[in-house]
Structure 1
């Protein structure tokens, strides 16, 4: 038995915790079983340290042990286990996670779905679809993310409903982002509705997704979004209008070259360059003296594109 193994069995929990940390510094796969054993330590600090260390190991035993800690009595332990599970990379681990997506505890359901999201495994589809109707908003949000990562087009009807009607703004925001899977009429309708959502984060996400889908039918609504009271929404709308390359948007974009927010001025210049309409040249030449160097750089690029 090595010195560290002796320390892992010491009666003082602080000695055991430091032993786990020292062992983690070596990060040797042959020691994974020691971390797994430490997950059952009587000390919460030791369990949390072992859970964090298992972020670097992926085996059935490690995954199973971490899942068991998701409903630990101590919040720090639960958080450490959830974080390590979110770092899993092997899609084969999904078979061990998916059965726990219906756990009675909302935090467990959330953590399982967050871990499944990164794995992009087919086994994640059924539990994620079921979780779209979960009573807890953080669970619904993660379910949306799972289906978005998997690009699961059959989920679009449910996602369009969530984007416009879910009571939680973070769920609506996530759903608006996930609607980039396809560009049918229902998606366009949901995203246009999301552009006037009460929460600016939802409006921002909707503007972003419309640009990704390059839907020319949304041009008028994106132009209106340039006047949003939140500059973050206007910025995303400007970026999306650049992607649409519609000259009709130029008159609405030009005033934003004088906006107080430099990031928005920069994005506006880039959008005008993408659109490529010579009508923007006079305003861009004036903006070439902008006090912000990043804006000036964007203006130079736009001028070169239009020329």
Structure 2
């Protein structure tokens, strides 16, 4: 029996924008077998909120027609629509989806280029390498940030030199930070000067990233700089430096790590305890025993684990010497 109620298709073309918007939201949860043909026309809706919801409803669809349409939405007159399109495109998984986005990496407004780079980043598409390299000197910092992010995902050795240069000299602190993190895939000590310089950067977030990256790369030559970083004005940097000293099993870091066991920030005390356990030096036993009375239960637990680790390491060394 006909109820007289408007169908979903009717609501999608209703004169009232609110009705159309709610219909778009409802569409993915409807019984429609193929919602794409119903959604694509809404990308041209006169109402920006309807277009935004249509963009969001198309997330997860990677047909060429959909990706092409979403790429075009990066040029929409409404900032909210552009942002939604960038977010949805950033969830693409199929490297074939990169094709409609490639022309946008090097032409058009800076905002569009930045969104396009963000969209292709996780695709790890080799075709994005050249545009990303060329955009490292873009006048817009947002474009440079996203281009550096793409290169970090691609992990192409050919980009290491340029990324090191950006990490050391880009005028934007966030660009430098991202570049420092991107150097975490480098397998060469050639990046050491850039990373140690970053440990003295004026922006603490860059120093923080550098301290972490040096640990990832296991660059023992950086130990003196990491020890110095344990005196950084920002405890967040000290946390990363402590973590890296532990990964490097840097005995030279013992005094600074032991001193950190009484710091007011419990996160730093935790990392210092973990690092002392990883280093395994028996000189840390007495300070770690003191940490068993720390007011933070996590610090106390980690101190027990660190003492056990040192004891096991000492036993292994003794048995090895006696065999």
Instruction: Judge conservation of contact 1:27–1:56 (CA < 8 Å) in 2.
Output: no
Query: What is aligned with 1:51?
Result: 55
Q: 5+ residue gaps in structure 2?
A: 1-5, 312-323
Match of 1:238 among 232, 239, 242: 242
Q: How many residues align?
A: 306
Q: In the TM superposition, what are the counterparts of 1:202-221 in structure 2 within 5 Å?
A: 202-221=206-225
Instruction: Give the C-alpha shift of residue 289 in structure 1.
Output: 1.2
Instruction: Give the C-alpha shift of residue 27 in structure 1.
Output: 8.9
Query: What is aligned with 1:258?
Result: 262
Give the TM-score of the pair, scaled to structure 2.
0.92
Instruction: Judge conservation of contact 1:70–1:108 (CA < 8 Å) in 2.
Output: yes
Does residue 154 of the first structure (1) align with residue 158 of the second (2)? yes
Query: What is aligned with 1:228?
Result: 232
Instruction: Give the C-alpha shift of residue 24 in structure 1.
Output: 2.6
Measure the CA separation in 2 of the matches of 1:236 and 1:29: 51
Q: 5+ residue gaps in structure 1?
A: none
Instruction: Give the C-alpha shift of residue 92 in structure 1.
Output: 0.9
Instruction: Judge conservation of contact 1:169–1:202 (CA < 8 Å) in 2.
Output: yes
Instruction: Give the C-alpha shift of residue 52 in structure 1.
Output: 1.1
Instruction: Give the C-alpha shift of residue 26 in structure 1.
Output: 4.1
Match of 2:301 among 279, 294, 297: 297
Instruction: Give the C-alpha shift of residue 133 in structure 1.
Output: 1.4
Select between 65-74 and 235-244 the one with higher mean Cα deviation: 65-74
Measure the CA separation in 2 of the matches of 1:19 and 1:60: 24
User: Alignment RMSD, CA only?
Assistant: 1.3
Instruction: Give the C-alpha shift of residue 131 in structure 1.
Output: 1.3
Query: What is aligned with 1:72?
Result: 76
Change (3 A) 1:178 1:28: farther
SS in 2 for 1:5: helix
Query: What is aligned with 1:13?
Result: 17
Measure the CA separation in 2 of the matches of 1:19 and 1:29: 16
Query: What is aligned with 2:43?
Result: 39
Instruction: Judge conservation of contact 1:36–1:61 (CA < 8 Å) in 2.
Output: no
Measure the CA separation in 2 of the matches of 1:88 and 1:303: 47
Match of 2:169 among 156, 165, 168: 165
Change (3 A) 1:258 1:28: farther
SS in 2 for 1:56: coil
Instruction: Judge conservation of contact 1:183–1:215 (CA < 8 Å) in 2.
Output: no
The structure having more radius of gyration, on CA atoms, is 2
Change (3 A) 1:159 1:291: same
Give the TM-score of the pair, scaled to structure 1.
0.97
Select between 116-125 and 204-213 the one with higher mean Cα deviation: 116-125
Instruction: Judge conservation of contact 2:189–2:219 (CA < 8 Å) in 1.
Output: no
Query: What is aligned with 2:200?
Result: 196
Select between 41-50 and 176-185 the one with higher mean Cα deviation: 176-185
Measure the CA separation in 1 of the matches of 2:234 and 2:95: 40
Instruction: Give the C-alpha shift of residue 28 in structure 1.
Output: 6.2
Measure the CA separation in 2 of the matches of 1:100 and 1:25: 33
Instruction: Give the C-alpha shift of residue 134 in structure 1.
Output: 1.1
Measure the CA separation in 2 of the matches of 1:28 and 1:249: 63
Instruction: Judge conservation of contact 2:227–2:252 (CA < 8 Å) in 1.
Output: no
Measure the CA separation in 2 of the matches of 1:182 and 1:47: 42
SS in 2 for 1:119: coil
